[in-house]
Amino acid sequence: MDPEVERLVREERLVAAAELAASRGDARTASALFERACDFRRASEEARRAGDFARALPLALEGKDAEGAERALPDLIRDAAQSERVAFHLERRGDHLWAGRVLEGIGKRVPAARAYERAGEALRAATLLEEEGDVIGAARVLEAQARKDPGRASLHVALGSILLRYGKTDAAVRALQKVGHDAPERRAALSLLLPALDRLGLSQARVEAERELDALGGAVEVLVPSPRAAPVKTRLFGRYEVVRDVASSPSARVLECMDGVRGERVAVKIFAGYDARGGGRDALARFEREVRVLGTLDHPNIVPLRDYVPEGPALVLAWMGRGTLEHMLAAEPLTPMRAVEIAQAVLSALGEAHRVGVIHRDIKPANVLFDDAGVTRLGDFGVAHLSDLSSTATAGVIGTLGYMSPEQRDGRPATVQSDLYGVGALLWEMLTGERPEAGLGAATLRARPSGVHRDLDTHHDTLVLSFLDQDPAGRPEDAFAARRALGALAWPDTIERAAVTHVPRPKSERPSAMRLAPELDGSAIDQWLDRRVTTLPFDAATLARASVFARADHPVLQGVLRADREGRAIWLAAPRGAPLTGKLSAAQATSLREALARLHEIGETHGAVDGAHVLVDEDGAVTLAFSPPPGATSTADLDRLALARLC
């Protein structure tokens, strides 16, 4: 330090010392001295002159100098590592808006969206999340902010536009109707409301909305950004680039892919069981029948068929990013309203299928899927019977016993009412947690919806039981009548438990011990689903830790498959690959960083980010293995530091 400057500092004349250092070109010292003197604006200016943009921006904000922060931002975000550190400290001190701007500037869109959400900038957060393909996340951000600030019409317009675009028409109308008549956004809301009312067939409401819109000057265009495609590696059939394996069965393999032509995510279902001499031939016939069935159906609640590749043979289907009802039921209880919303969507799909002569015959949770916006879609028509409804379609061994109608189990013809029985079994399970056991009938069910949910009564019980009548004639007339009957009753959107707070699930039709076949490497094969699993002891600590990994729900984290209470074991997806021996690539480090961020967002840490827990397969994909509960000293910072050592 300059002697004269040092003398002024000893005399505690900090401003004079800072000004002298600045006049002599020592901007770094000047910045530090202005900061000590609490002159944050000038401290920021000198830090920027010294090229210390990581200090310049926070100091400008400390001095309420937004213009100074704006000047420092472009230079700061040229250094991604420095920017992340600055964003972290801004978050720690509660400056979420600027943390979001810094993170967005370096391309960290999802963390930026979370920061914007905490800052109350829901519109910006939702835009970033949707650009990253997280449509559900975008909608949730808007819904949460709209509950806090119900008078902010722009939130309802943005939410309505997302819901409408992704097929949730009823919910979109509810959101758009919250925009007041005197709100500046009313014209935009009406512009979106017109097509929504068209879809619902509400002609009188549409006429009134159109009249109001004309008085306001006519429709305006409301744009919502499209989700971005994810990076991919391997190409199938010259067009579909593989992202990851999703599932496999004895007859088919499903892969998540990107369509290089349309630029959208798809599921490619490759047939894998053809044998012209026996059972494989029947499986292939069912597979090709699925193509014909899907080709005749175009409905918002049916998984859309994008293409058929004969040389596979393979089906290309629209990607269902939110998984299956089976996964949903394993993860969380559903409110009665949500359960009925799902059942009505399935009934709408079946109504269209039945109209063109298609009986599905395999209604079960694994065949009810959800797209990126959470819209319910019915899939897997591979066992459907395509012909006149008057012809015989015996079930044979096709279908799933727990959801199969009595007539199908007896080998009698499947009808429209057979599919309605499957919907009733789904609805009963969603409402009570209990699946009707094959062949026992509704009278033996231990729970009732009204016995689980305080706000339901015997009218709800009677209606749902009618779907499960042993006699097909006792069930609703058709899918549309069933849908109307469900809509005629009120179903609460909350879970208010009645006196019976726990509903035991029925025992499996097959002993659990016979399900797992041990392997030499210590893992096991789940013989029902043909997947490799590892198991851990079922205890409170392991169950809680498994719950953490399940809630984080990131593809890089080792998957949690099942909590087998009867077998006293936690089932995990057997991770692919070997322990890391070298250094991580940039792409691998990014994937792991995102997985850790997901854990940190829910308030948890990993605590064991090391070569033994980071596994790499032959394609370079990484998995962060399950870890026991970390100690009290584990922090998010230590996770990030441990990851940095592997790079």
Position 223 pLDDT exceeds 70: no
Q: What percent of the chain has pLDDT over 90?
A: 15
Residue type present at position 340: V
Collapsing DSSP to helix, strand or coil, 417 comes out as: helix
CATH at residue 333 = 1.10.510.10
359 and 426 share one domain: yes
- 550 found inside a domain: yes
Confidence of residue 503 (pLDDT cuts 50, 70, 90): very low
Collapsing DSSP to helix, strand or coil, 361 comes out as: coil
Mean pLDDT of 221-244: 60
Residue after which a domain boundary falls, among 181, 215, 249: 215
Position 88 pLDDT exceeds 60: yes
The predicted-structure confidence for 153-166, as pLDDT tens digits, reads as follows: 888 888 888 888 77
429 and 548 share one domain: no
Tell which residue, 139, 91, 133, has the closest CA to residue 111: 91
Q: Any idea which residue has 């592997």 for tokens?
A: 646
Q: Any idea which residue has 């962060």 for tokens?
A: 624
Position 449 pLDDT exceeds 60: yes
- 222 found inside a domain: no
Q: What pLDDT sits at residue 228?
A: 38
Higher-pLDDT residue of 612 and 246 is 612
Q: What pLDDT sits at residue 422?
A: 93
Enter the tokens of residue 152: 């902010």
80 and 178 share one domain: yes
Write the CA distances from 435 to 344, 370, 397, 441, 515, integer angstroms.
19, 21, 20, 11, 20
Position 137 pLDDT exceeds 60: yes
Residue after which a domain boundary falls, among 299, 318, 337: 318
- 311 found inside a domain: yes
Confidence of residue 521 (pLDDT cuts 50, 70, 90): low
Mean pLDDT of 203-210: 82
Higher-pLDDT residue of 526 and 61 is 61
Running DSSP on this structure, what letter comes out for residue 364? -
132 and 255 share one domain: no
Q: What pLDDT sits at residue 424?
A: 93
Q: What is the pTM of this model?
A: 0.43
58 and 175 share one domain: yes
405 and 529 share one domain: no
Range of the domain at 355: 325-487
Position 476 pLDDT exceeds 90: yes
362 and 311 share one domain: no
Position 534 pLDDT exceeds 50: yes
- 227 found inside a domain: no
Q: What pLDDT sits at residue 446?
A: 60
Confidence of residue 500 (pLDDT cuts 50, 70, 90): very low
Q: What pLDDT sits at residue 140?
A: 85
Q: What pLDDT sits at residue 544?
A: 76
Asked if 148 and 175 count as a contact pair (C-beta separation under 8 A), the reply is no
Running DSSP on this structure, what letter comes out for residue 414? P
Position 586 pLDDT exceeds 90: no
Tell which residue, 318, 331, 413, has the closest CA to residue 371: 318
Mean pLDDT of 566-584: 85
- 499 found inside a domain: no
Q: How many independent structural domains does the chain possess?
A: 4
- Angle in degrees, 0-180, between the axes of helices 109-118 and 122-131, rounded to the nearest 10: 160
**Numbers of helices and strands, H then E, in the chain:** 26, 18
The predicted-structure confidence for 615-635, as pLDDT tens digits, reads as follows: 998 878 889 998 888 876 778
Position 338 pLDDT exceeds 80: yes
What share of residues in the chain are helix, strand, coil (percent, to 5)?
50, 15, 40
Collapsing DSSP to helix, strand or coil, 237 comes out as: coil
Residue after which a domain boundary falls, among 285, 318, 351: 318
Question: What is the distance between the alpha carbons of residues 498 and 492, in angstroms, rounded to a whole number?
Answer: 13
- 255 found inside a domain: yes
Catalytic positions are 362
Question: What is the distance between the alpha carbons of residues 256 and 265, in angstroms, rounded to a whole number?
Answer: 7
267 and 402 share one domain: no
The predicted-structure confidence for 175-204, as pLDDT tens digits, reads as follows: 888 888 888 888 888 888 888 887 777 778
Q: What pLDDT sits at residue 251?
A: 58
Enter the tokens of residue 187: 């014209």
* Paired strand residues for 517: 525
Question: What is the distance between the alpha carbons of residues 353 and 31, in angstroms, rounded to a whole number?
Answer: 72
- b/e burial code for range 99-129 (CB count within 10 A of at least 16 → b): bbbbbbbbebbbbbbbbbbebebbbbbbbbb
198 and 244 share one domain: no
The lowest-confidence range among 22-26, 199-203, 304-308, 503-507 is 503-507
Confidence of residue 482 (pLDDT cuts 50, 70, 90): very high
Q: What is the 3-state secondary structure (H, E, C) of 262-294?
A: CCEEEEEEEECCCCCCCHHHHHHHHHHHHHHHH
- 224 found inside a domain: no
Question: What is the distance between the alpha carbons of residues 293 and 286, in angstroms, rounded to a whole number?
Answer: 10
Confidence of residue 475 (pLDDT cuts 50, 70, 90): very high
593 and 447 share one domain: no
Q: What pLDDT sits at residue 368?
A: 94
Q: What pLDDT sits at residue 204?
A: 81
320: region left, alpha or beta (phi > 0 left; psi from -120 to 50 alpha): beta
Q: What pLDDT sits at residue 220?
A: 66
Collapsing DSSP to helix, strand or coil, 449 comes out as: helix
Asked if 86 and 80 count as a contact pair (C-beta separation under 8 A), the reply is no
Tell which residue, 643, 617, 634, 644, has the closest CA to residue 545: 634
Q: What percent of the chain has pLDDT over 70?
A: 83
Q: What pLDDT sits at residue 529?
A: 58
Position 10 pLDDT exceeds 90: no
483 and 452 share one domain: yes
Phi, psi of 524 (to 5 degrees): -145, 160
- 58 found inside a domain: yes
Position 451 pLDDT exceeds 90: no
Confidence of residue 416 (pLDDT cuts 50, 70, 90): very high
Which regions of 395-552 does DSSP assign to beta strands (E)?
516-518, 524-526, 531-537
186 and 243 share one domain: no
Higher-pLDDT residue of 35 and 440 is 35
CATH at residue 241 = 3.30.200.20
Element spanning 399, H or E: none
